[in-house]
Structure 1
Amino acid sequence: MSIHIPNILLTIPRNPVVAVGLPLALGFFSGGDSSKVANSNWYANLVTPPGNPRREVFPFVWTLLYASMGYASHVAVKALDSTVLEANKNALSLGLALYYTQLGLNYAWSPLFFGQHKIGLALVDSVLLTATTCWMTKLLDRPTDAKATYFLLPYCAWLGFATYLNAGTWWLNKNRGHKRL
């Protein structure tokens, strides 16, 4: 199974600065208004599940995760450039396609949750994002000699936790008049 990725999407992660900069920029634009909403009455009135960190934690964690995922894309494209095994090419190509898919899902989450207050739809996005990222991490593991995995495992773990927070928030507020889907 061969996946074709447009050259521009392979060129971006070849430069490590651009590879790291892309998810950082997308995260900044996607979540730019979330701090305003996190200080709003709407957010303050949400019931959240146990273990919800202070809101000041999120920008620091996400900055590290965006940088890490970007560097993992650099590792993956470098492995793709040097591999001769067809199985590795296929895994890396699909992994990079999933990388861009998860970037899109990641970009959509903040506007859904914070912008539109669609907690349930944000949860669907979060589940898809987590599954896509875990699949991507598995695909990139062997062909990168686990280098990409080192950068992606914290992201996978955080997405699992973030999905729990989103699910708990949806569940605890589903009958309180908040928009769900």
Structure 2
Amino acid sequence: MNVPLPDFLLVAVRIPLVAVGLPLGLGLLSGYPTANVVRSDWYKNLRTPPGRPPRQVFPIVWPILYISMGYASHLTVKALDSALSPSVRSDCMLALSLYYTQLALNLLWTPLFFGAKKTGTALIDSGLMAAATFYMTKLIAPHSPGAAYLLLPYCAWLSFATYLNGGIWWLNGGPRASAKQE
């Protein structure tokens, strides 16, 4: 399956600094408004599942993950550019499409969870983001093992983040709270 991407998205990840800077910059912009929300009564009063790390961990982990995923996108486009087989090119193009899809979902999660306080909708977003990232990692692994290794911590973190989001949604009313918000 050949998934077309606009040329500017391919050009962006061909330049290592842009490939790394794009998710890092967008992630920092997306996360900036959360500082006020995590100090709010709403956030402080959320019941959370076991294992939630201190809030100070998140601004350390996310930049590392953004840098890692950005460089993985660069390695993926390098695999695309050197691919001779149409099936390898197709896998790489689909992986890059999934990369941009998960990045968009990643940027959407913060306004959903912290801005709109829609923990159920954010959970759906988180699940889709994780699924896109897992599949992207599976697709690229045979063609760029380095890219796949860089994505493994992100896959692990997304699993953990989805667990946290799901636990918060469930412990704070789950389906009952979601039905009231609609």
TM interval, short-chain normalised: over 0.9
- Give, as a single letter, the amino acid of the residue that structure 1 aligns with 2:84: V
Deviations 1:11-62 (A, max 9, x none): 0011111000000011011111111101110000100000000000001000
Give the TM-score, by structure 2 length: 0.95
Deviation string, structure 1 residues 101-157 (Cα, Å, up to 9, x no partner): 00000000000000010000000000000000000000111111x111110000000
Partner of 2:68: 68
| Closer/same/farther in 2, CA of residues 174 and 180 from structure 1, 3 Å limit | farther
User: Distance in 1 between the 2:10 and 2:68 partners?
Assistant: 17
Q: Would you say how many aligned residue pairs link Structure 1 and Structure 2?
A: 180
List gaps (5 residues or longer) in structure 1. none
Q: Which residue of 2 aligns with 1:133?
A: 133
Determine if contact 1:80/1:88 at 8 Å carries over to the other structure: yes
Aligned to 1:167: 166
Is 1:158 aligned with 2:144?
no
Shift of residue 68, structure 1, vs aligned partner: 0.2
Q: Percent identity between the aligned chains?
A: 56
Give the C-alpha shift of residue 177 in structure 1. Answer: 5.7
Asked if 1:117 corresponds to 2:103, the answer is no
Over 3 Å counting, the alpha-carbon distance change for 1:98 and 1:177 in structure 2 is closer
Query: In structure 2, the residue corresponding to 1:56 is in which secondary structure?
Result: helix
Q: Segments of 4+ in structure 1 off by > 2 A?
A: 175-181
Partner of 1:149: 148
C-alpha change, 1:180 and 1:55, in structure 2 (3 Å) is farther
8 Å contact from structure 1 (residues 174, 180) kept in 2: no
- 3-state DSSP class of the match of 2:89? helix
Query: What is the identity, as a one-letter code, of the residue corresponding to 2:72?
Result: A
The alpha-carbon deviation at position 167 of structure 1 amounts to 0.2
1:96-107 paired onto structure 2 within 5 Å: 96-107=96-107
SS state at 1:11 partner: helix
Matched letter for residue 63 of structure 1: P
Residue aligning to 1:24: 24
The residue matched to 1:12 in structure 2 has which SS?
helix
Output the TM-score relative to the length of structure 1: 0.96
Partner AA of 1:51 in structure 2? G
Where does 1:13-92 land on structure 2 (aligned, <5 Å)? 13-92=13-92
